[in-house]
């Protein structure tokens, strides 16, 4: 976690021009690599006890206590509509603050921080599963694999819609 924090000291994204680079934290969900803009990520943690919330939407795993704050945990596998069986026994979560509330995206694993060239970025392919397209901001063509960028706003906003 501390190593992530340090990376925040690097020049912020705004300074890099459009053709420049941006930093992403990679996470693994159902064997697919995803990226989150580093500035949106507050921390990475291992959720201990998650309290389920009856009557809530399917994607909401529950609520948990993260250092005195109540965090709403969202199961990203469910959000993406993929199977929930994870080989990992320990789950990880990415902490995000959105509209001054704390959310935790539950993922399989956290990877590394990547500095990616915007030249390799492109919009979602048209045949992307609509459930994925809903939450994805676009894709990076990396050498060995593809990195799907998660749009935090969309991940949480659509939930708002369903809850409404």
Stretch that binds other proteins, among 37-45, 105-113, 114-122, 155-163 (CB under 8 A): 155-163
Question: Of the candidates 7, 8, 52, 117, which one interacts with other proteins according to CB under 8 A?
Answer: 52
Q: How far is 153 from 6, CA to CA, in rounded Å?
A: 24
DSSP annotation of 51? B
Which residues inside 111-150 make contact with other proteins, applying CB under 8 A?
Answer: 126, 130, 133
Place of tokens 């392919």: 125
99 binds other proteins (CB under 8 A): yes
Nearer of residues 109 and 157 to other proteins, judged by Cβ = 157
Q: How far is 34 from 135, CA to CA, in rounded Å?
A: 11
Stretch that binds other proteins, among 1-9, 18-26, 35-43, 53-61 (CB under 8 A): 53-61
DSSP per position, 64-116:
EEETTEEEEEEEHHHHHT-----S-SS-EEEEEEETTEEEEEEESEEEEEEEE
CB-CB contact of 42 with 73 (8 Å) = no
72 binds other proteins (CB under 8 A): yes
Phi-psi region for residue 58, left (φ > 0), alpha (ψ -120 to 50) or beta? alpha
CB-CB contact of 26 with 37 (8 Å) = no
Nearest approach, Cβ of residue 144 and other proteins (Å): 28
85 binds other proteins (CB under 8 A): no
58 binds other proteins (CB under 8 A): no
Nearest approach, Cβ of residue 99 and other proteins (Å): 7
Stretch that binds other proteins, among 5-13, 81-89, 143-151, 152-160 (CB under 8 A): 152-160
**What does the angle CA 90 – CA 94 – CA 100 come to, to the nearest 5 degrees?**
140
Q: Can you give the binding site for other proteins, defined by CB under 8 A?
A: 48-49, 51-57, 60, 62-65, 67-70, 72, 74, 99, 101-103, 126, 130, 133, 156-161, 163-164
């Amino acid at each position: 976690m501390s190593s992530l924090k340090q990376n925040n000291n690097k020049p912020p994204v705004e300074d890099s021009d459009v053709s420049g680079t941006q930093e992403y934290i990679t996470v693994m969900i159902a064997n697919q690599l995803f990226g989150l803009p580093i500035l949106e990520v507050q921390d990475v943690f291992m959720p201990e006890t998650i309290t389920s919330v009856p009557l809530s939407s399917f994607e909401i795993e529950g609520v948990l206590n993260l250092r005195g704050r109540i965090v709403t945990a969202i199961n990203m596998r469910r959000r993406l509509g993929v199977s929930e069986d994870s080989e990992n026994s320990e789950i990880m979560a990415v902490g995000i603050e959105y509209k001054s509330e704390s959310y935790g995206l539950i993922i399989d694993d956290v990877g590394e921080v990547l500095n990616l060239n915007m030249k390799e970025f492109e919009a979602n392919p048209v045949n992307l599963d609509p459930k994925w397209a809903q939450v994805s901001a676009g894709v990076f063509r990396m050498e060995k694999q593809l990195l799907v960028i998660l749009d935090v706003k969309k991940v949480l906003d659509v939930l708002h819609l369903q809850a409404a």
